[in-house]
Amino acid sequence: MKVDGKHFRSIWRERDGWSVGAIDQRRLPHEFVIAKLTSCEDAAVAIRDMLVRGAPLIGATAAYGMALAMRADASDAGLRRAYDTLVVARPTAINLKWALDEMRAALAPIDPAERAEAAYVRADEIVEQDVEINRGIAANGLALIEAIVARKTPGETVNVLTHCNAGWLATVDWGTATAPIYLAHERGIKIHVWVDETRPRNQGASLTAWELGHHGVPHTVIPDNTGGHLMQHGMVDLAIVGTDRVAANGDVCNKIGTYLKALAAHDNGVPFYVALPSPTIDFAVDDGIRDIPIEQRSGVEVTDMTGRTADGRLETVRIVPEGSPVANYAFDVTPARLVTGLITERGVLKPDRASLAAAFPERIAAAAE
Ligand code: MRU
C-alpha cells in the first residue's frame, strides 16, 4: 500500500539480497522508521517487542528469521535452535508456528550447504502467498459490502467497524479486515470506517488510522467502548475484524475487546465478520475458548501511554496510580455462535467445523500427521 505516494510492503528483502527491511510499527504514527533485521535474534526481538505485529506479518518475519539463521549456521542444530528461538517469540498468533513448520519442512530434508538459499526461496514464497491470499479475501469481502450497497439508497455511505489493526501493516500487504475495505474504496464505493482505538497498545488509533489516512479512506477513531452505542443507533452496517487464530470449531481469537464488539453486534443485529488467511486456522485446536493460549503482556502497556507533545516531542506518561495492580490480557476468544461469517481466500464460510474442514481439506490432513 502507499505511504506518501510510494508503494511499501510491511516487510521485504533488502537490495543486498539477504538482510530484511521492516517498518518499525512501534514508532507509528509519529515517525516512519525502517528497521534492518540481520539475524535470527533480530527477527525474534522484532516479533517479541512488536516492532512487527499482526498474525500474518509475524509469520512472514519468522520465515525470514529462519533464512537469516541459516546464513549463520545451517546445521541440523542451527535449524533446531532457530525454530526454538522464534516459536516462543509470541504465543497466540498461530501463523508464527505455521510459517516455522513450513520452513522446517522445506529445509530439514536438504543438504545443510543448500539450506540458506532454499530458506530465502521458501520465505519469499510465504510472503508472496500472503499477498495473494489477501487479494482473495478482498474480493470475497467486497461481495458482502456490495450487497449492503444494493440495499441502501444510492450514494449512501457504508459504515464498517473494525478493531485493532488487521490492515496492511499486520500482513505483508492489503491486510485482512481492511482488504475488502481498500478494494471497495478503489472501486468507488462510499465507505467509512469506525476505528476502535484498541487499548492498551492503541493499534487502531496508531496504525489503522494511519494507514487508512495514507490511503485516503474516510475513517473516525473512537474510544473502545463506543461501538455498542453506534450499533444501537444504526451507525454500523457491518463489523470486520482480523484474527490471530481460528480453532477447528470456528471460535475466533483476536485482540482483547473483540468479544465485546461481537456481543454488541449480536444484540443489535449487526453482521460480524472475521477476515482471515487460511494459515490462521489451527485445526489442532478443537475448542478455541478452552485451548488457545492468551498472551499476557507487561503491565507497563496499561499504566503508561506515549504520545506527541504540542512542541513535537515523544513523551511517555503514567495514567494509573502508583501501586495499583493491572492486568494485560492481549487477546480474547469470540465464540463461533457470535460470528456471522469467516471471510477467507476460498470464500465466506460459516464459522463451524464442517465448513472449515470442507474448504481446507489439505490442512486437516496436515494437522492429522
Ligand atoms: O498484538 P497484535 O498487534 O499483534 O495483535 C494483532 C491483532 O489482533 C490483529 O487484529 C490480528 O493479528 C489480525 S492481523 C491481520
pLDDT digits (tens, 9 = 90+) for 115-143: 999 999 999 999 999 999 999 999 999 99
Identify whether the C-beta of residue 240 lies closer than 8 Å to the C-beta of residue 258: no
Average pLDDT on 70-97 reads: 98
CB atoms closer than 10 angstroms to residue 365 = 10
- % of the chain at pLDDT higher than 90: 96
Residue in 137, 164, 259 to alter for ligand 1 test, most ligand atoms within 8 A of Cβ: 164
The yes-or-no verdict on residue 210 having pLDDT over 80 is yes
Looking at residue 367, its pLDDT comes to 74
pLDDT digits (tens, 9 = 90+) for 318-353: 999 999 999 999 999 999 999 999 999 999 999 999
pLDDT digits (tens, 9 = 90+) for 22-44: 999 999 999 999 999 999 999 99
Identify whether the C-beta of residue 197 lies closer than 8 Å to the C-beta of residue 222: yes
> Exposed, middle or buried: residue 245 (CB in 10 Å: 0-12, 13-18, 19+)?
buried
The atom number, within ligand 1, closest to the CA of 175 reads: 15
The per-residue pLDDT of the chain, averaged, comes to 97
Where do we find the cell 479512506?
Answer: 217
Distance 56 CA to ligand 1 centre (A): 9
Domains and CATH numbers, the chain: 2-128 (1.20.120.420), 137-368 (3.40.50.10470)
Distance 153 CA to ligand 1 centre (A): 34
pLDDT digits (tens, 9 = 90+) for 148-196: 999 999 999 999 999 999 999 999 999 999 999 999 999 999 999 999 9
pLDDT bucket at 358, cuts 50 / 70 / 90 = very high
Q: Which residue's CA is the nearest one to ligand 1's atom 15?
A: 166
- % helix / strand / coil in the chain, to the nearest 5? 45, 20, 35
Q: Which residue's CA is the nearest one to ligand 1's atom 5?
A: 54
244 is catalytic: yes
Looking at residue 369, its pLDDT comes to 72
Instruction: Kindly name the residue from 224, 244, 282, 332 that is annotated as catalytic.
Output: 244
Looking at residue 18, its pLDDT comes to 98
Distance 163 CA to ligand 1 centre (A): 9
Q: Measure the N-to-C terminal CA separation of the chain; round to a whole number of Å.
A: 38
Task: Look at residues 54, 1, 9 and name the one whose alpha carbon lies nearest to residue 280.
Answer: 54
Q: Which residue's CA is the nearest one to ligand 1's atom 6?
A: 54
Looking at residue 1, its pLDDT comes to 81
Residues flanking ligand 1, CB < 6 Å: 53-56, 93, 164, 166, 170-171, 176, 203, 242-244, 254-255, 330
What is the grid cell recorded at 308?
A: 506527541
pLDDT bucket at 368, cuts 50 / 70 / 90 = confident
pLDDT bucket at 5, cuts 50 / 70 / 90 = confident
Burial state string for 29-49 with b = 16 or more CB within 10 A and e = fewer than 16: beeeeebebebbbbbbebbee
